[in-house]
Amino acid sequence: MSDEREAIAEAPVAARVPLPVVDAESFDRRQFIEEMCKACAAGAPVLLAVLHIAEAQGAGASTGYDPAGHVYAMGIDVDKCIGCARCVAACKTENDVPVDSPNGGLDGYPPIEDEASVLRTFFVPKLCNHCANPPCVQVCPVGATFSTKDGVVLVDEDYCVGCRYCIQACPYGARWFHPVKHVASKCTLCYHRVVQGKLPACVEACPTGARIFGEVEDRATPLSRFMRWNDIQVLKPHLNTEPKVYYANLNGEVR
Amino acid sequence: MNQQLVRLAAVFGVAGGTFVAARHYLIPATFGDQGHYRAAAVSTVIARPVKYAGRTECADCHEDVVKTGKLGNHRGVSCETCHGPSAAHAESGGDSATKVIQPRKFCPVCHAYDPSRPTGFPQIDPVEHNALKACTKCHNPHAPVPPKTPEECKACHGQIARAKGMSQHARLACTGCHVAPDQHKIAPRAFAATKPTDISYCVRCHAQADTAKRNEATQVDAEKHYKRNACWDCHYPHNPKAS
């Protein structure tokens, strides 16, 4: 056995694998690998350096905002919602949401098919729950979605590959596919406004004060007062997603 | 030293060096600055332009309107809810215009009758309610009040009035069961109308002991017919046949 192996090792390469001869000076395998390695060694640093510079330019100017000092959440008083969809309109305007994305109640509501079977109807505003334990972040294969320190779930649009896995994973149907950018998109809790101390656009536009935005851990904010004075429920608590959109006066049947 | 070991060391050296170099270049520059993500992605989100100026901005120039608005029934409504996103308008000092409102189209977005809307929220039927007349002809949008005190209950409680009008109870007055203080017509929630607390009104027709006073109403024995329940637990008084 060992004799045979030595014999093969000593035999010339061409004898074992006859190479197709294109012309007299064509590469053999060894030459080809050598040339490729050289090319990679020469080209890689240049490519990586270009990537690195592009990355550095992409990073925006930092603001004086410290996310560690805040925990944001949203409160919703179901009894106050009149279903006017001003929040939807405001969100679409503020965040440049394209027309052919989910429209909420902006175009009115579907008619009730069997009125006799309906006991009571009411409006329940839904949005991204900004879960403390978000399924969408767990399933992202490229790590393009994440929770910030102040409790907001965001999407890294430059790294999202548009696989739609997070859209499937979200139990609240809060994610949607951006038809222009071809990435997963979602409510940012108007993060660009919040860091400036402004309210999210939907809260700003709500005419009845059904939406309350604020910090959870500070006792003196409108949100924590709202949470003390009302019986608070969250959507699908059994899923352990720990949602941060708190509903008051919500019928327990709403999911 | 063995030649194999030297070559192996060289291979490991090159592989390790490549790994370190690749790691340095391939991991995004700002990754890990704030958490297990690219901090530059947050900056991209923050860089979005603000379009809604916020409800505190308008008072700088439109002091009188804001003052009026704060006293009226629209005091909780932000200017931008109706006038549209106005950050550009505020920043340019009023050069860029805000949204033009067509009252007949826009006001019903909130005030058209919808059974899902909370009870007590002022709603009208946009088809019947002074058709073709601009809402702002009668109502001041910044401090809206009904132009005159409603005369009848059905001005606001149209849905109930329609249901009752079609039922056997059509001829019964609302005031038989409900007592509304005069201020209820102006401040309906602050001065609520009463609801019956006992079945004495129902009994007058439906369990009339004196046969001479009976009308065509269905008769029950008040002592035996579900004595522990009030009538309206099972029968909807505004449309008794429906339940």
Query: How does pLDDT run across B80-132, given as a tens digit for each residue?
Result: 999 999 999 998 888 887 888 889 999 999 998 888 898 778 888 787 788 78
CA of B135: how far to CAs of A186, A239, B100, B103, in Å?
37, 47, 14, 6
Q: Could you tell me which of B134, B133, B185 has the C-alpha nearest to residue B157?
A: B185
C-alpha B63: how far from chain center? 27
Highest mean pLDDT among A42-56, A159-173, B140-154, B195-209: A159-173
Spatial distance between the Cα atoms of B47 and A55, rounded to a whole number of angstroms:
16
Spatial distance between the Cα atoms of B156 and B137, rounded to a whole number of angstroms:
20
Spatial distance between the Cα atoms of B91 and B95, rounded to a whole number of angstroms:
9
Beta bridge partners of B33: none
B106 by Cβ neighbours in 10 Å (0-12 / 13-18 / 19+) ranks as: middle
Q: Domain map of chain A by residue range?
A: 67-108+120-248
Residue B117 touches partner A, C-beta closer than 8 Å = yes
Per CATH, domain A67-108+120-248 is 3.30.1360.20 = no
Residue A7 confidence (pLDDT) above 50 = no
Mutation pick from B18, B24, B52 vs chain A, by most beta carbons of A within 10 Å, is B52
The pLDDT assigned to A161 comes to 96
The pLDDT assigned to B49 comes to 95
Residues in chain A: 255
Using DSSP's 3-state secondary structure scheme, residue A242 falls into coil
Q: What digits encode the pLDDT tens for the residues B168-189?
A: 899 899 998 999 888 887 777 7
Amino acid at A37: C
The residue behind tokens 């064509």 is A26
The pLDDT assigned to A60 comes to 45
φ, ψ dihedrals at A174, nearest 5°? -90, -10
Residues of B in contact with A48 (CB under 8 A): 21-22, 25-26
Do the beta carbons of residue A78 and residue A210 sit within 8 Å?
yes
Residues of A in contact with B85 (CB under 8 A): 90, 93-94, 201
Instruction: State ipTM.
Output: 0.74
Highest mean pLDDT among A18-27, B175-184, B206-215: B175-184
**Which CATH fold would you assign to the domain B51-106?**
Helix Hairpins (1.10.287)
In DSSP notation, A187-236 reads --TTHHHHTTTPPPHHHHH-SS--EEEEESS-TTSHHHHHHHHS-EE-SS
Q: What angle do CA B43, B46, B48 make, to 5 degrees?
A: 120
Q: What is the mean pLDDT of chain B?
A: 87
C-alpha A82: how far from chain center? 29
Q: Give the model's confidence band at A62: pLDDT under 50 very low, under 70 low, under 90 confident, else very high.
A: low
The pLDDT assigned to A61 comes to 46
Residue A21 confidence (pLDDT) above 70 = no
The structure tokens listed for A135 are 């399924």
Once rounded to an integer, what is the mean pLDDT over residues B33-60? 92
In angstroms and rounded to an integer, the radius of gyration of the C-alpha atoms of chain B is 35
Q: Could you tell me which of B48, B29, B85, B25 has the C-alpha nearest to residue A155?
A: B48
Residue B228 confidence (pLDDT) above 90 = no
Residues of B in contact with A156 (CB under 8 A): 37-38, 41, 44
pTM equals 0.72
Once rounded to an integer, what is the mean pLDDT over residues A180-204? 95
Do the beta carbons of residue A77 and residue B116 sit within 8 Å?
no
Residues of B in contact with A108 (CB under 8 A): none
Q: Tell me which DSSP letter residue A178 carries.
A: -
Query: Can you list the alpha helix ranges (DSSP code H) found in B58-100?
Result: 63-71, 79-83, 87-91
Q: What digits encode the pLDDT tens for the residues B1-40?
A: 788 999 999 999 999 999 999 999 999 989 988 889 999 9
Q: Domain map of chain B by residue range?
A: 3-46, 51-106, 168-242
In angstroms and rounded to an integer, the radius of gyration of the C-alpha atoms of chain A is 29
Q: Give the model's confidence band at A111: pLDDT under 50 very low, under 70 low, under 90 confident, else very high.
A: confident
Q: What digits encode the pLDDT tens for the residues B123-163?
A: 887 877 887 889 999 899 998 887 777 777 877 777 788 88
Mutation pick from A62, A96, A122, A191 vs chain B, by most beta carbons of B within 10 Å, is A62
Residue B20 touches partner A, C-beta closer than 8 Å = no
Spatial distance between the Cα atoms of A35 and B10, rounded to a whole number of angstroms:
19
What is the C-alpha end-to-end distance of chain B, expressed in Å? 100
